[in-house]
Amino acid sequence: MAEAVASTVREEKSKLVSEFQEKFKAAKMAVVTEYRGLTVAQMTRLRREMRDASGEYQVIKNTLARRALKDTPYHSLERLLEGPNGWVFGYEDPATLSKALVKFVEENEKLAIKGALVEGEFLDQARFKVLARMPSRSELQAKLLALMCAPAAQLLRLIQEPGARAVRLLETIRKQKEEK
């Protein structure tokens, strides 16, 4: 009986480890946080805000996290595993997710960022906050599009200017004739 229970527990743990490994493999970014002192309502809000920013917040036991980190690009985060840790997984734009996380940390001082790995580079708390100040991918795409469209718009205005001048001149002449 005890062996059956132990076997079931082992199977559940190995299943959790493989699920976490899949999250690590799919994520573009992983952040280790210390959540000690957060209320259930704050944790729920944090999870919702991370989901809204194309991420996920999950609490993982350190022993399971160590096993899951093996054979993933995030194995260097193992050194941060002391005390209760929560993990933020980012699946799309790291800048958007980091903005949401830093905003939440500023509003809730009990949540602390221990470190992150973003596309292979380790970021401590200070460098992570710098990432949060960067424009998001959609903002950069909008700026790039505006830069690409600017020469065409200027050329179009330049081509239309002689005709517009003629129209303004005719309008001025018409007004002068009406006044007489």
Q: In the chain, what are the domain boundaries?
A: 2-134, 136-180
More confident residue, 19 or 147: 19
Query: To which residue do tokens 């005390």 refer?
Result: 83
Over residues 86-113, the mean pLDDT reads: 88
Over residues 122-141, the mean pLDDT reads: 77
Listed in sequence order, the residues at least 6 apart from 103 whose beta carbon sits closer than 8 Å to its beta carbon are 132
Tell which residue, 87, 177, 97, has the closest CA to residue 136: 97
Report helix, strand or coil for 117: strand
CB 115 within 8 A of CB 31: yes
Over residues 53-75, the mean pLDDT reads: 86
Summarised one tens digit per residue, pLDDT across range 26-46 is: 888 889 999 888 899 999 999
List C-alpha distances in Å: 94 to 53, 111, 129.
9, 19, 12
**Least confident stretch, 30-44, 67-81, 125-139:** 125-139
Summarised one tens digit per residue, pLDDT across range 13-24 is: 888 888 888 888
2-134 classified as CATH 3.60.20.10: no
Q: Is the pLDDT of residue 2 over 70?
A: no
**Least confident stretch, 19-33, 43-57, 84-98, 120-134:** 120-134
CA-CA distance, 139 to 152, in Å (whole number)? 21
Average pLDDT score over the chain: 84
**Model pLDDT, residue 43:** 92
pLDDT-derived band of residue 104, with 50, 70 and 90 as boundaries? very high
